[in-house]
Every structure is written in C-alpha cells, then in structure tokens.
Amino acid sequence: MSFGARLRRDWPLILMCVPAMLLLAVFHYLPALGNVIAFQDYNPFAGDSPLQAFLSSEWIGFGNFQYLFETPAFWESVRNTLGITAFQLVFYFPIPIMLAMLLNSILSPRIRSFVQSVVYLPHFFSWVLVVSLFQMMLGGAGLVAQTARDAGFTAPDFMTDPDTFYFLITSQALWKDAGWGMIVFLAALAAIDPSLYEAAAADGAGRWRRLWHITLPGLRPVIVLLLILRLGDALNVGFEQFYLQREAVGRDAAEVLDTYVYYQGIGVQQWGVGAAAGLFKALVGLLLILGANKVAHRLGEQGIYSKS
C-alpha cells in the first residue's frame, strides 16, 4: 500500500497519539533536553524567562561536574544511595519471592484472596502516609514507645536514629511494596505447568525437591528480569521517603542523590550543579541498566528487551 493510502487509512490513529505526545514533549523531553544547563553557569536572572536565561547564561563545560566530583557531600550521597540499594537487594528483594511462594502454597482460595487484598493495599498509600504511620507506631511518641512506657521500659526512637536508618527505610519499603511486588511472582507461579509437579511426584520427588527443581527454575526469568531492573535503578532509591526523613535522621545517613539534587538545585539555587548531579545520575543509571541487560543475555536469559 502506498504511503498516501496508508496515511488516508491511519490518520485517525496517528491523531489519537498526538495529545499524549505533546504532553510528553513539553513535560518530559523538553526538561530532558534542558539538562544541558549542567554545562552552564545557569543564572535564572540573566533573562526574563528561563529560555532567555538559558540563552544568556555562560557555558562552562564540565565545571559543574568538576565541582561535584571535588565535593565530599556529593560522594556521600552517592555512597548512601549505593549502600541503600545494596542493603535492599539483600533484605528486600527476596521477600516478595518468598511471600509469593508461601501464598501460592496456601490452597484455600478465600484465605489467599484475603491475604492478597490486604498486602496489596499499602502500595496505594503515599510515602507521606507510610512515613507518618511509622512515626506513629515507632516514633518517640509512638505506639510502641507508649506501650513500652506503660510496661516500664524505654523504647529507642527508631525514627531519628541514623545507625538503624537502613533497617527503617527497608522496613518501610517492605511494608509498602512487598505485597505488591508479589504479583508478578504469583503470575509466574501460576504459569508453571502442573503436570511438571505431577511427573516429579510420580518419580518420587518430595516437596523440597519439587521446589528446587520446578518452582525456582520456573521463577528464574522473572527474578533475573526484576534483578536487572533493580540494578539499573540502583541510583533511584526514591525521593520522597528520604526527603521526608532527611531532617529527622540527619544528612549523613539520609542524603541520597535525589535529595542532593534537590537541595543543591532548588534549595541553594546552584542550578547548574543540581542539574549536573541529576544528569550524572541519569547517565550512570542508563549505563547500569544496559550493562545489566547485557549480562543477562550472556547468561542466556531474556532480559528486558530481546536481542533480535
């Protein structure tokens, strides 16, 4: 079919895509291009509009990056970010998998769907609410402290202790999203052919052997996929959770890259430096995800996109 004929046939479909494309152009791709101010000494007062300010701001090459790389606070935020990712990889990542396997082994459909409804729920709460609930339960004036006081003890205030901060944020993340994270594993479990279990059982495999030789291999592609996504997101530990608790816990423990970008850029108005830190994060993140995907291909897994 000729181009003209296809255009005549498909123009309504193209038109339908236009509103979403325009919104993304303005609020996603335009800011993405705007990252070039990382190479500028951006001065918002250099013009009447950000565009004019951008045009009249001075280009300083890698000056902002040089500044960042010489700043201990920046490296501290990088270290915190990576530390949190590593910690969560060990203490968060396996939990939804185990939870899914546990729930999958529950045969009563009523109990299963009840538990599912309950544990999915916190995923829909905001970080503000989750942190608030933790504050109300574990904070200095919280329920746990109140109960301990009544019993004659004093409970530590987990909400302000930098030493236990990793545990705190990981338990918050678990509370909020472990149930939701289970969904994809439950789907993978449901997709495993029951006749495999049947055959294994007929061959005399007990429940642990079946778990090891059928269930876990069945989950492997999903686990690898999510592991890649998590590694690619290593610098993305989430913003709101840390913004909300940075004050109480202190910058040493709770400053991550995202909060660093915020306080450098919008906080102390070092726009170029903030943008540079953001760009650094985005580029490293991109490299990580492409690299992790490559590793997955090497291992013979599907990864996020197939090699084709």
> What is the footprint of another protein within residues 255-284 (CB under 8 A)?
258, 261-262, 265-266, 271, 274-275, 278-279, 282
Of residues 265 and 303, the one with the C-beta less far from another protein? 265
90 lies in the site for another protein, by CB under 8 A = no
Distance of alpha carbon 76 from the chain centroid? 20
Of residues 20 and 90, the one with the C-beta less far from another protein? 20
239 lies in the site for another protein, by CB under 8 A = yes
Size, binding site for another protein by CB under 8 A: 99
212 lies in the site for another protein, by CB under 8 A = no
56 lies in the site for another protein, by CB under 8 A = no
44 lies in the site for another protein, by CB under 8 A = yes
119 lies in the site for another protein, by CB under 8 A = yes
Closest CA to 89 of 251, 302, 306, 288: 288
Of residues 1 and 90, the one with the C-beta less far from another protein? 1
- Kindly tell me which residue out of 67, 93, 125, 166 binds another protein, with binding defined by CB under 8 A: 125
> What is the footprint of another protein within residues 63-82 (CB under 8 A)?
none
103 lies in the site for another protein, by CB under 8 A = yes
151 lies in the site for another protein, by CB under 8 A = no
State the nearest-atom distance from the C-beta of 228 to another protein, in Å. 13
- Kindly tell me which residue out of 244, 253, 256, 288 binds another protein, with binding defined by CB under 8 A: 244
